[in-house]
Amino acid sequence: MPALNSPPIIEINGISKSFGAFKVLNDLSFSVAPGEKLALIGPSGSGKTTILRILMTLEGIDGGDIKVDGDDLYKMQRNGKLQPADEAHLHKMREKIGMVFQLFNLFPHKCVLDNVTLAPMLTKGVARKDAERHAMELLEMVGLADKAKSMPSQLSGGQKQRVAIARALALKPKIMLFDEVTSALDPELVEEVLNVLWKLCRETDMTMLLVTHEMGFAHDFADRVLFFDRGRIVEDGKPDEIFRHPKQERTQAFLKKIIAAGHRV
Amino acid sequence: MGQWAGYLQLILDGAIVTIQLTLMGSALALVMAFLAGLGRLSRFAPVRWLATAYIEFFRGTSIFVQLFWAYFVLPLFGFSLTPLQAGVLALGLNVGAYGAEVVRGAIKSIGKEQYEACTALNFNRWQGLRYIILPQAFVLMLPTFGNNAIELLKASAVVSLISLTDMTFQAQVVRAQTGNTLVPFLTILVLYFAIACVITFAIRGLERHLTRGLDGIRS
């Protein structure tokens, strides 16, 4: 359950972001409670993925500020003044955040086990033995313990994505970002990945942000849903409110289109 | 017949020198290729300029002239090199300049998503390069590195001009002493080809070894 009375773990305050002349995010603000499971939905190009990429420091911001776990993400205190974050500050902040990508981004030259153990060993100095034991627990959890020595090229898309989830979890982040993690999968492989997300959702108190087009899953998974359009939050509410009784016309239109395309809501 | 055995021995001695030059020159070329190739991708502009200047200069001037500089002109500034040192230096720097572009191209060809995974897993720049980018890029560099090594082998014949007793130099000695052109030059033709074949097979073997993991089980 989200700790709604605690201070937010993510505070986004008036951020904007442009790619060239295209304004992806426009004076956007929202916050996330510790442990909250948040689904971000909306049409393509509405800025959902950009938010995750900004939180993972893969993209910078043009304006506004972001606090993660109480600390400024893109600014740091130095000599009593706020300054743009340097690499060391970003490194420290990234420890709190993990991300799973749409296209898995596994390391093709490393076996499954090495994909999972490399980051804890390199960035946290975990001993190989301990990293491997933890990795095997995680692979067990995603149902791929028997694939530990396989190479990514030998796995199906769904298996790759489950490895990618285990790899991100190996760093024990407080916040997990899932960027359309089932969008690149064949339909019959979607469920095995959603099952893993579901397990994480039920069994951990990690804060999770999920960008998805799987509306049925978003409904069951999320404590709260944000509907995005053109870089702004159009509607923010409990899954039932958003999916069953959307107040905004744009939300209604979007959901209607999705249902017409055959997705369960 | 005994006379020819002696001359063959002379040419084989030359072949040893040619192989030495090729190995040492390739080693220097490899180091220079990575230094300059990574240098061109540096965040620091002066490093990029330095790398670019090196690459353009050594690609843009003749290896013949570079060798004469190393052997005949540097001593005027107080740097005296043995013929072998001058040969390795000129060959290594020259071929390294070509190799640098191979290194840069291969690194650039690794997809953005691999870099993003490195960031998301909190690797620093060096760790990402060392453990993720370079191992994948190196496999792509290998075939062209093989070409470069063969180029270096063939270019090594120019060292005969600074009186280094390599294979070509010895063939000329044999020709001068016997008056026979066909036999010595046919011999070194075959020998150059044989050495080039060894390089080709070695690189292919290495490539097979390194790519095996990419579609098979880790052994």
Residue A150 at interface with chain B, using a CB cutoff of 8 Å: yes
- pLDDT-based confidence at residue B219 (cuts at 50, 70, 90): very low
Render the burial of B175-184: b for 16+ CB within 10 Å, e for the rest: beeeeeeeeb
Interstrand relation of A224-229 and A37-41 (parallel, antiparallel or unpaired): parallel
Give the per-residue pLDDT at B218: 37
ipTM, 2 dp: 0.92
- Per residue in A119-164, pLDDT (tens digit) is 999 999 999 999 999 999 999 999 999 999 999 999 999 999 999 9
Residue B17: give its domain's CATH number. 1.10.3720.10
Q: Give me the mean pLDDT over the B188-209 stretch.
A: 95
Residue A146 at interface with chain B, using a CB cutoff of 8 Å: no
First and final C-alpha spacing in chain A: 23
Gyration radius of chain B's alpha carbons = 21
Q: How many CB pairs under 8 A join A and B?
A: 69
A57 CB neighbours in chain B (<8 A) are 119
A98, A109, A168 ranked by CB distance to B136: nearest: A109
Residue B109 at interface with chain A, using a CB cutoff of 8 Å: no
- Per residue in A84-119, pLDDT (tens digit) is 999 999 999 999 999 999 999 999 999 999 999 999
Q: What are the distances in angstroms from CA B184 to CA A45, A157, B4, B103?
A: 71, 61, 10, 38
Residues 6+ apart with CB under 8 A from A12: A28, A29, A30, A31, A51, A64, A66
Q: Give me the mean pLDDT over the A197-225 stretch.
A: 93
Alpha-carbon distance B207 to A219, whole Å?
Answer: 49
Task: Find residues 68-87 of chain A whose CB sits inside 8 Å of chain B.
Answer: 87
B117:A101 CB<8 A: yes
Q: Average pLDDT over chain B, rounded to whole?
A: 93
Question: Most B CBs within 10 Å: which of A57, A104, A107, as the mutation test of the B interface?
Answer: A107
Residues 6+ apart with CB under 8 A from A38: A32, A207, A208, A209, A210, A222, A223, A224, A225, A226
Nearest to A16 by CA among A3, A26, A31: A26
A151:B218 CB<8 A: yes
Residue B122 at interface with chain A, using a CB cutoff of 8 Å: yes
Residue A105 at interface with chain B, using a CB cutoff of 8 Å: yes
Q: Which domain holds residue B70?
A: 2-215
Alpha-carbon distance B49 to A220, whole Å?
Answer: 56
Nearest to A210 by CA among A183, A246, A173, A177: A177
Question: Most A CBs within 10 Å: which of B118, B122, B142, B207, as the mutation test of the A interface?
Answer: B122
Residues 6+ apart with CB under 8 A from B117: A101, A105, A106, A107, B132
Gyration radius of chain A's alpha carbons = 19
A146 CB neighbours in chain B (<8 A) are none
B122:A108 CB<8 A: no
What does pTM read for this prediction?
Answer: 0.88
B119, B122, B217 ranked by CB distance to A149: nearest: B217
B121:A171 CB<8 A: yes
Q: Average pLDDT over chain A, rounded to whole?
A: 93
The answer to whether the beta carbons of residues B191 and B15 sit under 8 Å apart is yes
Residue B217 reports pLDDT greater than 50? no
Instruction: Give the distance from residue B12's alpha carbon to the nearest chain A alpha carbon, in angstroms.
Output: 42
Question: Into how many domains does chain B fold?
Answer: 1
A108:B214 CB<8 A: yes
Give the per-residue pLDDT at A102: 95
- pLDDT-based confidence at residue B179 (cuts at 50, 70, 90): very high
A194 CB-side CA count, 13 A: 22
- pLDDT-based confidence at residue B214 (cuts at 50, 70, 90): low
- Per residue in A34-71, pLDDT (tens digit) is 999 999 999 988 999 999 999 999 999 999 999 999 99
Give the per-residue pLDDT at B58: 96
- Taking the domains of chain A in order of start, what are their residue ranges? 108-172
How far is residue A67 CA from its own chain's centroid?
16
Question: Most A CBs within 10 Å: which of B109, B121, B130, as the mutation test of the A interface?
Answer: B121
Residue A192 reports pLDDT greater than 90? yes
Residue A91 at interface with chain B, using a CB cutoff of 8 Å: yes
Q: Give me the mean pLDDT over the A205-231 stretch.
A: 94
Q: What percent of chain B has pLDDT over 90?
A: 90
- pLDDT-based confidence at residue A80 (cuts at 50, 70, 90): confident
Q: What are the distances in angstroms from CA B22 to CA A198, A201, B160, B164?
A: 60, 60, 14, 13
Q: Give me the mean pLDDT over the B138-143 stretch.
A: 94
Torsion of the alpha carbons at B10, B14, B19 and B21, rounded to the nearest 10 = 160
Instruction: Give the distance from residue B44's alpha carbon to the nearest chain A alpha carbon, in angstroms.
Output: 15
